[in-house]
Structure formats: C-alpha cells, structure tokens
Amino acid sequence: MLKNFTQSLRIEVTPQAMRLLRARRWGSAAPEMLAEQALASGGAGPAGVAEALPAALAALLAGQSAGGMAASFVLSDELVRLWQVTPPVQAARLADLEGAAALRFHTLYGETPAAWHISADWNVAATFMAAAIPRLLKAAIENAAVQHGLVVIAIVPHFVAAWNRHAGALKNDAWFGVAQGNVLALAACEDGKLRAVRHVAIPHGADHYWLTQAAQREALLLGLPPPALIQLSGEVPPALAKPASSDKHIATAALGVAA
Amino acid sequence: MRPMQIDFATAGWRSTLYRIHPAVLAAGALGVALLLAGAALGVQAAKQQAVREQGLRAQERKQAAAVRAPERKPETVIPEAQAVAVNSAILQLNLPWRDLQDAVAAANSPAVALLALDPIRASKR
C-alpha cells in the first residue's frame, strides 16, 4: 500500500520496444529502469503496436509485482499526432474548441478524427496544443492494463511528458528539445509561450553545428528569431551533451533525463 | 513555462488522487481531522450542557415545590375548657329570655311568683 502511495510505474511505448520504469511520485529523482521488451510489431504504425502491445506488456510485467500499481503510459511521438489549434474568435464553449481542433486535424492529416481520441490543452484565448491517439491503441493500452491489474493514471505523448516535467525549469526565450531515439522534438518558444513543435531527425554524429543549422532553419520557417539557448533533455547525442565550443553555435543546456 | 494539460487516459478517481500533491492531501486529511475533532467536541459540550440543564431543571423543580407549599403552621389550639365556656356563653345569650319569662309568668297561678330563671349547665345535665 505504501509502495503504491510513494511510487508509480511508467511504461514507455515506442514502435520498437516497451520499457518499464519505476518513478517516484514526488521529488526530482529520475525514473529507474526495471525491464525492457522488444515489440514484435506485425504491421507498421499505431495499429501494429496496438496488436503487439498486450503480449509485450505481459512479457514486460512477468516477474514484477505490479498488481494494483498506478501506471502512466508514455507514447513516443511517432504513435501520436501533435498539432496546434488557433481557437475561433468567438469561441464560447468547449464544443467550439473541440470543433476547431477536429477541423484542424482534418486539414492537416486529410482524414476525419473519428478513429482518434483527441486531448488538448484547451485555451480559448491563445493558440493551444492538441494531441490525438488512435482509439485502437488507447483501447489496447487500457484493456492490457486492466488485465494486469494496473491502474492507468495517464497516457501522454513523450514530448508532453518531457515538457511537463521540465516546464518549471524552462527559460522564457529558450527553445526546448527532447531527443528520443533518432528524433529531436524541438519546441520553439517565444515570450514564454510555446509557438510550435517540430520533429527533426538526428543524423549520425550530430553536433552543435547541425543543431544550430536545424534551429535556424526552423526559426526561418516559423518566422521567429533564432534562439539564444536550447535546453535539451532525453537521449541527447554525446556530441551535443557538451557545451558548445564555438561562439557561432547556439548554446545548449542539459535538463537531464526526459520526463 | 506552463505545463500542458494533455492526457488521453480516461479520468478516474485514482488518477485524480494521483495528480494531487501529497501536501494537499495531507492538508485535506488535517482539515477533515479538525472537522471531526470539532464535531466530537461539540457533541461532548452539548451532552454536558444537557446534563447541567437537567440538573438545573431538577433543582428548579425542587425549589418551586418548596416555594408553592410553605410549611403549614398549626393553628392556635383552643383548650377544651375555654371552648366549652364560650359555647355555653353563646347558648345563654342566644336564649330568648324575655319571651320565656313572659310565658312562664302567664302560665302561673297568682299564688305562685316567679323569682328567677336560671340556665342549667349542659355539662352538669
């Protein structure tokens, strides 16, 4: 009971593997890795993951006393869709914002959001982030969790989990980067507000030169001034983990492990 | 920066409870404990008050009874002899002496004269 009160499980789902971590409920200690299980995904994308997830979760939890524990699922950004929604001018109810989010989803991805579960940081006054997960994947996660006696307390995209963990430490005009696998999720911020999230592939041997180029390119595309500082977290490549050696490069600061 | 409120999980009481900071939970528990303690104290005070009230009521009742029925003082006892004397005096005074004298005088023959009329004491009869 006390164990359940002080800690929770964190299950990271990527298209390739699942990881089981133990997270302290409070304090800033990094989650501690307990087990890892490759995902024998039949098909590509979320559908394949949803299909392979129950078996992988069973293998992952084998030997762990996880019954009754609270578990939060962190999905890698490939499995979810993240986009930004500008609220309609005269939005008065949540339904207006939901409609705007669905409309934007349809515009961006060319399909109706019927098969997707949308969750967003609803805000009527400013542009907000919305995220969607296939209903199939959500149902697979919740069913598998119920089968193993886990209580699902959160299902969040990896970027959102990292953002929420480090939100207090982010500087106002610095950009925020979360690396997972070979993808860097780059959050462009301005005046203390999140302007856009871009996912950039990290090439082999990425260094400060590459990061500076990528950030400047994204800044140009978004019409923002290039950042003076990028705060990085997650699986940062070793060359990027060190401080920048040249003044011409954008400075980086490490925030520690992701989420 | 502000955290994002994005979560796909179905909301439930466990997840809500989990999201609340333990300090808030502790404060809530403390509040509930204070409330219970206050309620217990109130009930106890009410009970005490009821007991005192009851005692006061009993005292009042006793006092009221004492006030309503003061100790009856025995009336002045009239001695037997005095009573008899008073009664005989009243009897003497009540007798119609003049009528009696007239009746006796009228009934007598002229050879007999009425010297005196004297009452016979009832007690001596």
Segment A17-64, tens digit of pLDDT: 889 998 887 777 778 888 888 887 666 778 888 888 888 888 888 878
**Nearest CB to A121 within list B5, B14, B15:** B5
H-type helices in chain B, by residue range?
A: 13-19, 22-68, 80-94, 97-107
Q: Comparing C-alpha atoms, which of B116, B65, B123, B64 is closest to residue B91?
A: B123
Cβ pairs A/B, distance under 8 A: 68
- In chain A, the residue whose alpha carbon lies closest to the alpha carbon of B4 is A121
Q: pTM value?
A: 0.74
Contact A203, A145 (CB under 8 A): no
* Mean pLDDT comparison of A102-116, B16-30, B74-88, B98-112, highest-scoring range: A102-116
**Chain A residues touching residue B18 (CB < 8 angstroms):** 8, 25, 70, 153
Q: Does B11 touch chain A (CB under 8 A)?
A: no
Contact A97, A91 (CB under 8 A): yes
Structure tokens, A118: 């949308």
Q: Does B8 touch chain A (CB under 8 A)?
A: yes
pLDDT digits (tens, 9 = 90+) for B58-86: 999 999 988 887 677 777 888 899 999 99
CA atoms A158, A161, A165, A168: torsion sign: positive
Taking the mean position of all CA atoms in its chain, how far away is CA A159?
Answer: 2
Measure the CA–CA gap between A255 and A238, rounded to whole angstroms. Answer: 14
Contact A182, A201 (CB under 8 A): yes
